Amino acid sequence: MNKLQANICLMCVTLLWSTEVIIFACIPNSVEPFATTAITSMIGGVLLCLCFFKRIKNALKNGGWKLLLTGIFLSVLNCSYNVLYQYGLKEFDVSTGAFTISMTVVILPVILMMKKQSVDKKTWISASLVLVGIVVSYLGKLDRISVSGLLVLIGGCIIRAFYIIRLNEAARKYDPVPISAMIAVFVGVISFVIWFFIQPETFAAIEWNTQIIASLVIHAYFIVMFAQTLNIFAQRKATPAASTIIYSMEIIFSLIWGMTMPSSIVTPVTPDVYMLIGAAFIVIGNLSEIVDFKRKAVKG
């Protein structure tokens, strides 16, 4: 996989993540979010293990405990930032929350710098453009921003930044398929434990019907199995900072769904002028990261 292909894969991952809201809309609110995560992650993890049994077995033989611990550590980070996002987002409206989550783009290069790792000038420019986009989107609703919610979300963003850095390191060191399978299985287990504490009846508490089963299966295929594995493969060729910048496109996709999908599926979004300018900055930030201007200039 080359850099262009990695960027295409990351864009696809971002697109798939943005469709999560559409799939979740088909699952009744009575189903706990941890139940959804537990079930879909377990289905995805088990399917990955079945499809790539030999590959995973060999990787575990070679990687041993280190690989297993990496999988567990990544799963813990994954669950932690998701929990913080879930609680933080309750304090925001959908669009502002989505813009705030993109703060990872700015936090990640700072963490890399603190770890004394070099960050491209181009990445700093892209991250700055995305930050400007987020700040502009806040204008006009500063009075509605909850400080506690903001702090919780920033906490989530910091953990997510660490997660992306560690995932990137793991993707370069180990086979992405076993990592993806392990993250799915362990996230499933951790989410199940949390689900059990919140709702001890677990599976019996869900009023099962074909719609719920189909939605969970689709989420397991496309978000857990496909997007997660694709993401780890792409991480091998992309830098953590570049991937985070591409992830920020999720807001743009979410805005498109919010404007085009029926209100029964997605909370309708009528973007104000600030959101549109913010979104434009985010797109420009992405383009400046993805497009290889230097190469073009040489060719030209």
Partner 1 sequence: MNKKNTPFRLLGLTFVLVAVYLVVSIPFKVMEVIPGFTDIRPVSMLQPVYGIFFGIPGCIAFAVGNLITDIASDSLRWSSIAGFIANFGGPLLFYIYWDRMSRKPFDLKNMKNILRHIIVILVVAVVQAGIITPAVALVYPDVDHMLLFGTIMINSTAFPILLGIPLIIVLQEELGFKTAVKIKKAE
Q: What's the CA gap between 25 and 18, in Å, rounded?
A: 12
Query: Is 290 a binder of partner 1 (CB under 8 A)?
Result: no
Question: Which range in 57-65, 66-74, 96-104, 220-228 contacts partner 1 by CB under 8 A?
Answer: 220-228
Considering the complex, state which of residue 96 and residue 286 has its C-beta at the smaller distance from partner 1: 286
Minimal distance, residue 53 CB to partner 1, in Å: 14
Question: Which range in 134-142, 154-162, 258-266, 270-278 contacts partner 1 by CB under 8 A?
Answer: 258-266
For residue 45, give the nearest of 187, 207, 233, 239 by alpha carbon.
187
Tokens at residue 148, please? 């506690």
Residue found under tokens 């398929």: 177
Q: What's the CA gap between 109 and 116, in Å, rounded?
A: 10
CB atoms within 10 A of CB 192: 18
Which residue in 22, 72, 125, 194 binds partner 1 (CB under 8 A)?
A: 22
Which residue in 150, 261, 280, 283 binds partner 1 (CB under 8 A)?
A: 261
Burial of residue 148, with CB atoms counted within 10 A of its CB: 0-12 exposed, 13-18 middle, 19 or more buried: exposed
Tokens at residue 253, please? 């996709």
- The set of residues, in sequence order, having a beta carbon less than 8 Å from that of 213 and lying 6+ positions away, is none
Minimal distance, residue 211 CB to partner 1, in Å: 6
- The set of residues, in sequence order, having a beta carbon less than 8 Å from that of 82 and lying 6+ positions away, is 37, 156
Helix, strand, or coil here: 63?
helix
Burial of residue 279, with CB atoms counted within 10 A of its CB: 0-12 exposed, 13-18 middle, 19 or more buried: buried
Which residue in 73, 196, 221, 274 binds partner 1 (CB under 8 A)?
A: 221
Considering the complex, state which of residue 111 and residue 249 has its C-beta at the smaller distance from partner 1: 249
Query: Is 5 a binder of partner 1 (CB under 8 A)?
Result: yes
Question: Which range in 12-20, 69-77, 83-91, 186-194 contacts partner 1 by CB under 8 A?
Answer: 12-20
Which residue in 192, 222, 247, 281 binds partner 1 (CB under 8 A)?
A: 222
Contact of 166 with 183, CB cutoff 8 Å:
no
Minimal distance, residue 99 CB to partner 1, in Å: 24
Query: Is 46 a binder of partner 1 (CB under 8 A)?
Result: no
Which residue in 215, 228, 243, 248 binds partner 1 (CB under 8 A)?
A: 215
CA angle (41 as vertex; 36, 45 as ends), nearest 5: 160
Query: Is 8 a binder of partner 1 (CB under 8 A)?
Result: yes
Query: Is 210 a binder of partner 1 (CB under 8 A)?
Result: yes
Which residue in 53, 58, 211, 259 binds partner 1 (CB under 8 A)?
A: 211
Considering the complex, state which of residue 2 and residue 270 has its C-beta at the smaller distance from partner 1: 2
Residues in touch with partner 1 (CB under 8 A):
1-2, 4-5, 8-9, 12-13, 15-16, 22, 26, 176, 210-211, 213-215, 217-218, 221-222, 226, 229-230, 233, 261-262, 264-265
